[in-house]
Amino acid sequence: MRRLPRLGSSATVAALPMSSTACLRTPAASLFKCEIALTSATQPHSVPRQRHQVWANRFQSQRRCLSSAPPPPASTPEKAVDGASDVDTQNIQLSASQSRRRLRARLPKTDLTIPRKQRTVPRPADIPDAEYVPAESGLGLEEVGGLEGWWDNPAHWGPSKNYVGFGLQEKVMDAALLQVLARKALVEAIALKDKFESKIKNYRRVDPTPAEFRMAELVRISSKEILVAEDGSPTMAQHDVYKTLKALSHRLPVAEGEVLPKPVGPEMTPEEAKELLESWDRNWKAASIEDPALRFYLVKRIQRLTGHVIPDAKLVGVRHMGGLLSVLVKPPKALKLAELITTKSLLPTLPNVKIYPRRVTPVDKEKMVGRWKLIQKELQERGLPVVGTEGYGAAVEKKWVTGN
């Protein structure tokens, strides 16, 4: 008996309608006949199983597009809105309290007078008084408080915010006292330079204190022995370096918020400075200050101790300590003739002698006798210049005489 060849799975699938439009166009009877013919021609179990899988997959894809979730329960809109508003209010209050707590934690401790928390007045609709009439404009209303000009008031600034300059408020002008302070600055500069070169770890901070201007401190530090080498570089003994650094690093106990008063000047008098200078030799003035680090420390310490700022243009030609002293210590100004006569003459003691610092003019003579005010009034009434010409030129007759 003749048998038909077995159809493959691809042919079987191709024989089936794959689109909804094709199924609608094909009549149901012809589609049924095609299915019967294919079934009889092939094995009885393979084709129906494949056809069943194809149609099952198709219906399953259609079912996935539909939502099988149950509908949400109907709720009252008013209750939902009220519950949401309560939750939002609680969240806002909680976030506000947390932000205030964080702000208090971040605020630093300061001696500034910080403005108080601003308070606002209630709205006109919230006032229960029926006779209350709100103002329609701000004219005539009294302004109470406010932040305008708050930081312009010096009382709102703490003492720690006051300006403290680096040098003294008043410069030291005495020559002997300037030399003593310059020697003290040289001793400290040598110690500081040695500190950073040898990397001494015991003294990490060097803070100037008001005690450095006391009499005992000036004598003790400035009297340290300065050794000048053959090349002119100044040095000191190691124990003197440690003592100087210890004196510089010493800090007085200061309470929190307290500010040490700025020193006005050294306690040493010019006479005491002269006696101290005479007890020293002059070798320290030959010390070389060409080292940039030593020169920097020295100039800054001199500015701190004396209040004098030495410009860089004058430091260029300075090679040793004596040249720096010649720049720092200026010769006193020459006295005027009137000052010399007043201080070193017997003329001021005479009854008929009076010394004036300048030339005595005719106006001064009229003022001495009390006639100047009357003369000034009469000149103003006549329209004449009181002092000088005031726009009036020279006499015309002078040109006639000279022939100009």
Predicted confidence (pLDDT) per residue in 255-304, tens digit: 555 555 566 677 788 898 888 888 888 889 999 999 888 999 899 989 88
- Domain co-membership, 314 together with 371: no
- Domain co-membership, 264 together with 359: no
pLDDT at 85: 57
Please compute the mean of the pLDDT values over residues 80-94 and round it to a whole number: 59
Asked which of 328, 343, 362 is the last residue of a domain, the reply is 328
pLDDT at 263: 60
144 vs 373, residue with greater confidence? 373
Q: Say how far apart CA 28 and CA 30 lie, in whole Å.
A: 6
pLDDT at 6: 57
- Domain co-membership, 198 together with 318: yes
pLDDT at 41: 42
Specify if 296 maps to a domain: yes
9 pLDDT above the threshold of 60: no
- Domain co-membership, 383 together with 316: no
pLDDT at 377: 94
- Domain co-membership, 373 together with 269: no
154 vs 20, residue with greater confidence? 154
pLDDT at 211: 55
Specify if 117 maps to a domain: no
* Weakest-pLDDT range from 59-63, 103-107, 171-175: 59-63
Specify if 247 maps to a domain: yes
- Domain co-membership, 202 together with 271: yes
Specify if 27 maps to a domain: yes
pLDDT at 262: 61
Count CA atoms within 13 Å of residue 95 on its CB side.
Answer: 6
Query: Ranked by mean pLDDT, which of 52-66, 107-121, 125-139 comes out on top?
Result: 125-139
Total of domains in the chain: 3
395 vs 341, residue with greater confidence? 341
38 vs 167, residue with greater confidence? 167
Question: pTM of this prediction?
Answer: 0.52
Specify if 90 maps to a domain: no
Specify if 50 maps to a domain: yes
- Domain co-membership, 297 together with 361: no
- Domain co-membership, 367 together with 242: no
- Domain co-membership, 218 together with 186: yes
* Weakest-pLDDT range from 113-122, 198-207, 220-229, 315-324: 198-207
Query: Ranked by mean pLDDT, which of 22-26, 136-140, 143-147 comes out on top?
Result: 136-140
pLDDT at 62: 46
- Domain co-membership, 320 together with 199: yes
Please compute the mean of the pLDDT values over residues 318-323 and round it to a whole number: 91
Please compute the mean of the pLDDT values over residues 1-20 and round it to a whole number: 48
Specify if 302 maps to a domain: yes
Asked which of 42, 58, 74 is the last residue of a domain, the reply is 58
pLDDT at 125: 84
360 pLDDT above the threshold of 90: yes
Asked which of 58, 81, 98 is the last residue of a domain, the reply is 58
- Domain co-membership, 239 together with 182: yes
Specify if 183 maps to a domain: yes
* Weakest-pLDDT range from 61-65, 181-185, 274-278: 61-65
Please compute the mean of the pLDDT values over residues 14-43 and round it to a whole number: 43
Please compute the mean of the pLDDT values over residues 325-341 and round it to a whole number: 88
pLDDT band for position 199 (cuts 50, 70, 90): low
Which residue bears the tokens 């008013």? 78
230 pLDDT above the threshold of 70: yes
Per the structure, the complete domain to which residue 240 belongs is given by 175-252+260-328
- Domain co-membership, 246 together with 376: no
